[in-house]
Structure 1
Amino acid sequence: MKKWTSRSLKALMVTGLAVTALLPNLYLSPASAAETVTGTVNSTEAVKKLPKVQVIATGGTLAGQSTDETSFQTYRAGSLPIADLVASLPNKDQIAEVSTYQFGNSGSSAYTIEQLFDLSLKVDEALKTQDGVVVTTGTDTMEEIAYFLDLTVRSPKPVVITGSMRPWTVIGTDAPANLYNAIKLAASGKTKYFGTVLMLNDEFHAAREVTKTNSYRTDTFITPEIGALGYIDEKTIRVYRAPFRALKSATTWATPFDLSKITKKDLVKVEIAYSYQEAGAGAISGFVANGAKGIVTAGTGAGGISKAMSEERKAAIEKGVVFVTTTRTGSGSNYSSGDGIIAGDNLNAAHARILLLLCLSFSKDFDTVQNWFTTVGYGQIELPAK
C-alpha cells in the first residue's frame, strides 16, 4: 500500500477541490471530496444541492469606492459592480450557488417609491427560481426600503437586506462580512415566512421595527425595546424570536399589497410632519397643497402635536387627508385615533409613512385603511383561544 506524504495528500485535496468546482450545483463534504479523489465514494452518502441565492444590488456604501484605504467617510457610494464584489468573497461556494443582478448603483435615499415598486417585483421574480434573495442598499433609508419589501413581496422565501457602514475599499470595512453573512442567512432558509429581515453587524432584525440609530457606527441598527431576531456567529445562525407574520398560515401570510394589482400611477404621496415646541402649521398646509393624501405626524411624547398643527390637521382632514400619529421619541406605542386619524402603534414615523402610502395606494376607504393598520401594521401576536 502506498504511503502518502503530507505533500501528496495536499495535492490530492487540491485536485479534489478542482473536481468539486466543476460541479457548481453539488456540495460534497471534505470527507466525501477525499473519497472522490481515491475513487471510493460511499454510495449511501447523499449528495446535497447548494441553495440558490441571488444578490440584487442597488448600491450604497457597501459598493463604495473610498478616496484611499483609510478614507472611512470620504468615498463615492454606489461605485463598484456587485458581480465583482460577490466574485471576491471567499468560500461562498460552500454556502450557496450565488448569482447577481445590478438593479441600480446609487445611495438609498436617491430611490423613488416608483423604483421601489420595480425592485419589489424584481425580488418576487427572482424568488420563482431562487431559494432566497439578498438586497444590498445604502443604510440611510434601508429600514424604509426593507419595510416596503416586507409589505409587498409575495413570496415567503427568505429576503435579506444588507449594506455596510464603511466602503468596500477601506481597512476594517464591514462590507464583505455583511454581504457574506447575508448570503449565508438567506441560504439557510431560517427566515422563511419572516418577511424581509435586515442583516448587519452579525445581527438580523425584523423590517417592521428596526431603525438606524447612529450616523457612523457599525452597530447602528437596533430594534428598540424588542431586540434582534437573532445572530450569526460563523457557521452558527441562532434565531431567538420570530416576527408575528411567521405564525400565520401559508394562505394568510401575504399582505393585501400585491403590486401586480395596481400601477405606479396608483401610488399616492404621503409625507411626515415633525412636531416640536411651538411648531407651525406650515408643514401640514404645504404638504396638502402639494398633493399629499396622507400625513404621518411625529409627535412629542405619546404623539402630541402643537396647537397650530392640530388646527391645520382638522382642516386637512375635512379635505380627505388621512393622518397617522407616531412618536418622535424613538420608541414606545401610540394609541391616539379619531376622525381621519389612525394610531400608529409602535411604528416609527418612517415606517408608518411606508404603510400608509401602500394602504392609500390600494384603497381610499378610511375604515379599510384603519383595519389594515390594526392587522397588517400592528406586530402583536394573537394566540388562539384555548
Structure 2
Amino acid sequence: MVGLGGTIAMTANASGAVEPRLSAQDLIDAVPGLLGLDVELEARTVRNRPGASLTFGDLHELAEVLAEEFAAGATGAVVTQGTDTIEETSYLLGLLHAGEQPVVVTGAMRNPTLAGADGPANLLAAVTVAASPDARGLGCVVVFSDEIHAAARVRKSHTMSTGTFVSPDGGPLGYLVEGRARIINRPARGFTLPAGSRTGAEARVALYTATLGDDGGLLPSIIDQVDGLVIAGFGVGHVPESWVGHLETAARRIPVVLTSRTGAGSVATRTYGFPGSEQDLLSRGLIPAGFLSPYKARVLLRLLLSTGLGQDELRAAFVTAGALGIYPMGVC
C-alpha cells in the first residue's frame, strides 16, 4: 500500500481545517478489519499532498515504486490519494502498468474527523480487491463505495457525495459482495505505453473546452506555447465555425485531439458534415479520442509525446485507447 495523501489522510490543524498528515501505516492501523484478511501488507508513504497538488513527476515516481515491488514479488498494490485527480492519476498508472498485478486506487470523501468517514471502508475494500485472484489482469482500477471501476472509464461526478465515482460508459467492473470482489464486467485490456518507450521528455499539453459564443480568438496564443492540444468539443465533437482555421493550422504543427465535453459517450467520426463538425475537423488532421474523456485524453497525449512517437503511431494509440476500431491499428 502506497500513500500519496488526500482527504483519507487528513487531520485537523490548529485552525480546525484539515490537511494531509497521516502516513500509510496510520491508515492501515485505523482499519481493524484488515487483520482478518489473509494478506501480508507493506506500507509506504511516497507523498502527503492534496490530490490537486500531485504532479506527473509524482506519478512516474510512484509507477517506478510499484514496478520495483512487483519485481520483488508483490501480488497487488493499493494507492491512497486525494479524490480531486483520481480519474486522471489512475488512468496514468494504468497506462504505465502492463503487468497482471492489480493496481487499486482509493481515497475518501469524508475526512477522518467526520462522523461516517468513508476512508476505512474504502481501504478495506481496496485491499480486498488487490488481493483477489479475480482482479488479476484488470490493470488499474478505482475502488470506492464497494464498487470497482476501470481507470479508463471512471470519473468524479459530485463534489461531496461518497458515491461520487461513476463509469458512464459501461458501468462498474464489479462490486464488493460479502467481503469478496465480484467481477461481472471484464473488458478487454486497454492500451498501455509500449515498454521502454518513455524518453523522460516533458511535453506541455493544453485542454481547451468549447463554450457558447467563444470565437476562438485565444487559440493562436495557446497553440504557440504547447506541444499538443486536446479540444473538448460540444456534443459528439463539434466546435464553432470560427475555430476551424485555427485548429487546422495547429494540426499541421502539433497533435490536436478531439473529445467531447459531455462526460459520456464517444465522439462521432462520420455523421455531421458542416464546418466545425467532427467530419470536418478530422479531415483537417484532428485525432478522434473515441470514448476517452478530455482529461484522460490529455494524460494519454502527454505520455505519448514523451515517447517521441510519430503522428501515425499517435493515431493508432488513440484508436486502441478510445475503443474506436474504425481506422488501421498500426503499430499499437
Q: Which residue of 1 aligns with 2:193?
A: 256
Change in CA separation of 1:356 and 1:105 when aligned onto 2, cut-off 3 Å: same
Q: Which residue of 2 aligns with 1:358?
A: 303
Structure 1 runs of 4+ with >4 Å offset: none
Q: Secondary structure at the match of 2:3?
A: strand
Distance 2:18 2:220 in 1: 37
Aligned-residue offset at 1:283: 4.4
Letter in 2 for 1:273: Y
* 1:168-210 CA distance string (max 9 Å, x none): 2211100110011101110112211111000001101000011
Q: Number of residues paired by the alignment?
A: 311
Is 2:264 the counterpart of 1:331? yes
Letter in 1 for 2:283: G
Q: Which residue of 1 aligns with 2:167?
A: 223
Aligned-residue offset at 1:279: 1.4
Correspondences of 1:66-85 after superposition (within 5 Å):
66=12, 75-85=17-27
Change in CA separation of 1:282 and 1:118 when aligned onto 2, cut-off 3 Å: farther
The answer to whether the 8 A contact 1:162-1:179 is kept is: yes
Q: Secondary structure at the match of 1:57?
A: strand
Correspondences of 1:59-208 after superposition (within 5 Å):
59-66=5-12, 75-95=17-37, 96-128=39-71, 129-208=73-152
* 1:60-106 CA distance string (max 9 Å, x none): 111011469xx9xx742322111111122113132111111111000
Change in CA separation of 1:230 and 1:76 when aligned onto 2, cut-off 3 Å: same
The answer to whether the 8 A contact 1:150-1:207 is kept is: yes
The answer to whether the 8 A contact 2:3-2:46 is kept is: yes
The percentage of counterpart residues that share the same residue type is 32
Aligned-residue offset at 1:261: 4.1
TM-score when normalising by structure 2: 0.88
Q: Secondary structure at the match of 1:314?
A: helix
Distance 1:280 1:333 in 2: 25
Q: Which runs of 5+ in 1 are unaligned?
A: 1-54, 247-253, 381-386
RMSD of the alignment, in Å? Answer: 2.1
TM-score when normalising by structure 1: 0.76
* 1:248-277 CA distance string (max 9 Å, x none): xxxxxx73343x54343x131111100011
Which of 288, 310, 320 matches 1:375? 320
Change in CA separation of 1:75 and 1:177 when aligned onto 2, cut-off 3 Å: farther
The answer to whether the 8 A contact 1:63-1:81 is kept is: yes
Q: Which runs of 5+ in 2 are unaligned?
A: 270-277, 326-332
Q: Secondary structure at the match of 2:229?
A: strand
